[in-house]
Structure 1
Amino acid sequence: MTDRTMKAVLFDRYGDPDVLYVGRVPRPEPAPGEVLVRVRAFSVNGGELAARAGKIRLLTGRKFPKRVGLDFTGEVAALGTGTTAFAIGDRVWGVLGRTSGFGSAAEYVTVPADRIGRVPEGLDLVDAAALPVATTAVTALRDKVALRPGERLLVRGAAGGVGNAAVQLGHAYGAEVTALARAANLDFVRGLGATTALDHGTVRLPELGRFDVVLDTAGTGLPDFRRLLAPGGRMVTIAFDLTRPVGSLGYLAVSVRHGRGRVRAFSGNPKRTDFDDLARHVTEGKLAPAVDRVFPLAETAAAHRALEAGGVRGKYVVRVDQAPG
């Protein structure tokens, strides 16, 4: 009798990384317009740390067990009715959409066919798992602030998953990139293309000068960074302050609608065209995966713990090893 279950990373209560465990859940079947992906790897992202810890429980609720995992790489294992854009065996990457929640930390995941793209030939699927969230950096710099050659770009959180991609892309787009990161990571971000790399713990913001574009990945102290904008400058953030969520979200709501130098805020929700752009950037040599460390599925909790400790250089990636069949 065929086993229709699969391994997945679960948790039965909010808490620290130790609440995570590998259990078994029903293997999903693709609905019309969906694909079933055999997951080879995924990365650990800040949003799922907050969800696991219960910091956004008003959004995630109290129904357990819950899942983790936002992005993934793998191969198409089955096609839902009417799905023609992909074939079984295609190497793909993707990010679960806003309505899907978490769940890519598993042996299989279903996803709408318009939410994935093909991984460039020659790129290892484990290394590639560091890049799906880079679509956020692509969208931020391409669409939200329209970064232009010669402009001054400040990237806050430059060594992280989105930040390191923003540094690489900013350099490729011809901007002068200033990167804020931990002292231990300054050489790393310089190697990505930053013209200037500064320790975020000791830098005095008023002494930085003015920037045409500020990309923030932390969500805290936004008014201070907004003051760094030059006339006509643009700022985009992909986070809000979890220690004061109401005030932080309120500030963003007001800023988006009013005033010069408004702060644009968004969360990544990429579609196939965004993954096509991502693949093109990789193929053209503008963007490369930055993998700090690879963990096995059974050590997903350790990957969460490492990200919470800070100091990541790129992404922590979790490898999903599966038996044939």
Structure 2
Amino acid sequence: MKAIVYKKFGTTDVLQTVEQPRPTINADQVLVKVKAFSINPMDWKIRKGEMTLMSGSKFPKYAGADFAGIVEEIGSSVVGIKKGDEVFGVIKNMMKEGVSVEYVAVTSSLVWKKPADIDFQQAASIPVVGTAAATAIEKMGNIHAQTTILVNGATGGFGMFLLQLLKQHSANVTAVTGTQGVAFAKSWGANSVIDYTKEDIFSHKAAFDIVIDLSGKMGYKKAKEIMKAKALFLNPTPKAIEIPASIFKNLFTTKKHLVILSRPSTKYTGVLLNALRNGLKIEVSKVFPFAHYKEAYQYAEQGGYIGKVAIEID
């Protein structure tokens, strides 16, 4: 089978296609013929060597964490899934495994049946950012119509799920996005939208109960300027030092800095599937063929696109 791998850290230039044997499965695993996998910022952070404390430096490494496809084989102890099922899922160790392959062996507890009304590219976009959005909602605590929330960088994959989940909680959401994202942010449920190319959120003198920075560009220090006296800053893209530092700083301030660390599970997937049944939409702005994987990652790393980017395998 074909696989996209890299044997050293670096830019997209280190990515290459190799031939490998089809994986065998354990009793609790399924073998899935991958039809699509999505691109997440974590992919290039690992590839560039920015997360070696967690990813390690053993090569070859693979790209991608969440996927969708068709079940090819099932392990002897697997129940509820059969050969031929259309499924989506995520690998167990996102730091050391990958799904940039034609066939992937995955623990059956991390595979779910694909809803019939979404395609493989949309399904492959769910696990990582969908789980992160559901985890963020959980971190926010008791949110309601009077809860004021600022979502900075609101129309990427994470924001797409988060805005729609917040809408289902009736929160009062202000979204910050670029010009091409304004209409999407409104359609996904934002009460108000700020086009950062035309306005500066800090000039509004507004104050929020919760600020979540999906762009990674605002930061807690700056966000404090627009946070209420007792407020939360949610950080889904922490630097390694920020995880212990936030715990210490929170002892001395009512403006709390919370790091979001998420792991896909049936619990969160259930929330997301229920949201899909209630009208949540998944926007995949661009789909690249497997042979154009370098172009796909270059496009994704530039940012500025709406929703998700996916790679499909024939």
* Same fold flag (TM > 0.5): yes
1:48 corresponds to: 43
1:3 corresponds to: none
Deviates more, 1:112-121 or 1:214-223: 214-223
**Is 1:261 matched with 2:259?**
no
Deviates more, 1:122-131 or 1:57-66: 57-66
Q: Unaligned stretches of 5+ in structure 1?
A: 1-5
Q: Deviations over 1:76-113 (max 9, x none)?
A: 22222311132222222222234663311111212222
C-alpha displacement at 1:268, in angstroms?
2.4
Distance (whole Å) between structure 2 residues aligned to residue 147 and residue 311 of structure 1: 31
2:298 corresponds to: 305
Equivalent position SS for 2:223: helix
Task: Identify if the C-alpha distance between structure 1 residues 99 and 198 changes in structure 2 by more than 3 Å, giving closer, same or farther.
Answer: closer
Q: Is the 8 A contact 1:68 1:105 kept in 2?
A: yes
Distance (whole Å) between structure 1 residues aligned to residue 15 and residue 193 of structure 2: 36
Distance (whole Å) between structure 1 residues aligned to residue 119 and residue 205 of structure 2: 39
Find 1:116's aligned residue among 111, 114, 138: 111
2:130 corresponds to: 134
Equivalent position SS for 1:159: coil
Find 2:186's aligned residue among 175, 187, 190: 190
Identity, % of aligned positions: 30
Find 1:10's aligned residue among 2, 5, 8: 5
Deviates more, 1:24-33 or 1:65-74: 24-33
Distance (whole Å) between structure 1 residues aligned to residue 214 and residue 287 of structure 2: 23
Distance (whole Å) between structure 1 residues aligned to residue 250 and residue 24 of structure 2: 40
**Is 1:293 matched with 2:289?**
no
TM normalised by structure 2 equals 0.90
Task: Identify if the C-alpha distance between structure 1 residues 239 and 100 changes in structure 2 by more than 3 Å, giving closer, same or farther.
Answer: closer
Distance (whole Å) between structure 2 residues aligned to residue 118 and residue 163 of structure 1: 24
Deviates more, 1:196-205 or 1:78-87: 196-205
Distance (whole Å) between structure 2 residues aligned to residue 317 and residue 223 of structure 1: 34
Task: Identify if the C-alpha distance between structure 1 residues 50 and 41 changes in structure 2 by more than 3 Å, giving closer, same or farther.
Answer: same
Task: Identify if the C-alpha distance between structure 1 residues 148 and 253 changes in structure 2 by more than 3 Å, giving closer, same or farther.
Answer: closer
C-alpha displacement at 1:218, in angstroms?
3.5
Deviates more, 1:226-235 or 1:8-17: 226-235
Equivalent position SS for 1:49: helix
Alignment of 1:1-325 (within 5 A): 6-98=1-93, 101-132=96-127, 133-141=129-137, 143-146=138-141, 148-150=143-145, 151-200=147-196, 202-205=199-202, 207-220=204-217, 221-241=219-239, 245-246=240-241, 248-255=242-249, 259-285=253-279, 287-321=280-314
Distance (whole Å) between structure 2 residues aligned to residue 100 and residue 52 of structure 1: 10
Distance (whole Å) between structure 1 residues aligned to residue 253 and residue 23 of structure 2: 47
Task: Identify if the C-alpha distance between structure 1 residues 288 and 99 changes in structure 2 by more than 3 Å, giving closer, same or farther.
Answer: closer
Distance (whole Å) between structure 2 residues aligned to residue 277 and residue 204 of structure 1: 31
Deviates more, 1:76-85 or 1:221-230: 221-230
- Aligned CA-pair RMSD: 2.2
Q: Is the 8 A contact 2:46 2:95 kept in 1?
A: no
After the TM superposition, which parts of structure 1 deviate over 4 Å for at least 4 consecutive aligned residues? 255-258
Task: Identify if the C-alpha distance between structure 1 residues 100 and 37 changes in structure 2 by more than 3 Å, giving closer, same or farther.
Answer: farther
Q: Is the 8 A contact 1:70 1:102 kept in 2?
A: yes
Q: Is the 8 A contact 1:34 1:111 kept in 2?
A: yes
Q: Unaligned stretches of 5+ in structure 2?
A: none
Equivalent position SS for 1:26: coil
Residue 276 of structure 1 aligns with an amino acid whose one-letter code is G
Distance (whole Å) between structure 2 residues aligned to residue 232 and residue 190 of structure 1: 27
Task: Identify if the C-alpha distance between structure 1 residues 228 and 176 changes in structure 2 by more than 3 Å, giving closer, same or farther.
Answer: same
C-alpha displacement at 1:206, in angstroms?
6.0
Equivalent position SS for 1:262: strand
Q: Is the 8 A contact 2:160 2:282 kept in 1?
A: no
Distance (whole Å) between structure 2 residues aligned to residue 55 and residue 250 of structure 1: 18
Equivalent position SS for 2:20: strand
Q: Is the 8 A contact 2:55 2:95 kept in 1?
A: no
TM normalised by structure 1 equals 0.87
